[in-house]
Amino acid sequence: MTPHQRQPSEADLHRVVGVFETLMQRLMATHVPELAAVEMTMSQTKAMYLVIAAGPLRMSEFASRLGVSNSTATGQVDRLVELGLLERHEDVADRRQVVVSATPHGAEILERFRELNSRRLREMLAHIDSADLTVIERALLILDAAVLAEASQPNVTTTEGIRS
């Protein structure tokens, strides 16, 4: 934060998060039929997003990043391997370690999610005045900068205990 910026108040944060949550609930309601067709649970989807974003992960790191026990992570990976979405193999640097990575089919499934989200966003934006699109673009750029700033801080923990 630069010297001329003010820290948002708790009321400001609460108000904006409330608007965001309402938007997400409405979006989820419109996504349900399409998401149901993919046949993945929310925890499986999170696991897939993690592996796609991070790349191959040791099982212990996979569990840690998801905030679950090693046995829970193993169960999730087992199911995703059965579905052909993840694969596991030995770590070349330490053969005692198991590494999980996405299969081409797993990457394809998440690409379908990304395309679904992009298509839905385009549909919504088509109903917005072009002047307001500039405001939305600026807001998204601000949020992107905040994500980058937060990611540059090592081991930042949010109030929900999720490490970034």
Give dist(CA 58, CA 36) in Å, integer: 29
Is residue 87 a contact partner of residue 81, using CB atoms and an 8 Å limit?
Answer: yes
Is the pLDDT at 112 greater than 60, yes or no? yes
What's the confidence (pLDDT) of residue 155?
Answer: 60
> Tokens 């990043």 — which residue?
65
Residues 6 or more apart in contact with residue 57 via CB below 8 angstroms: 50, 51, 65, 99, 100, 101
- What's the rounded Cα separation, in Å, for the pair 28 and 90? 38
Strand segments (E) across 32-157:
57-58, 86-90, 98-102
| Alpha carbons 123 and 125: distance in angstroms, whole number | 6
Q: What is the pLDDT of residues 9-30, one digit of tens each?
A: 999 999 999 999 998 888 777 7
pLDDT surpassing 70 at residue 48: yes
Locate 108 and state its tokens.
Answer: 């394809």
Query: What average pLDDT does this structure show over 48-66?
Result: 93
* Nearest 10 degrees: Cα torsion 55, 80, 61, 99: -70
Which amino acid makes up residue 163?
R
Summarised one tens digit per residue, pLDDT across range 83-107 is: 999 999 988 888 888 999 999 999 9
Tell me: the pLDDT tens digits for 128-163? 999 999 999 999 999 999 999 988 887 654 444 444
**Residue range 41-45: mean pLDDT, rounded:** 84
Please report which helix (H) or strand (E) contains residue 27, including its range: helix 10-38
Looking at domain 20-128, does it have CATH number 1.10.10.10? yes
How is residue 113 written in tokens? Answer: 């999610």
Residue 3 has pLDDT above 70, yes or no: no
Tell me the domain boundaries of the chain: 20-128
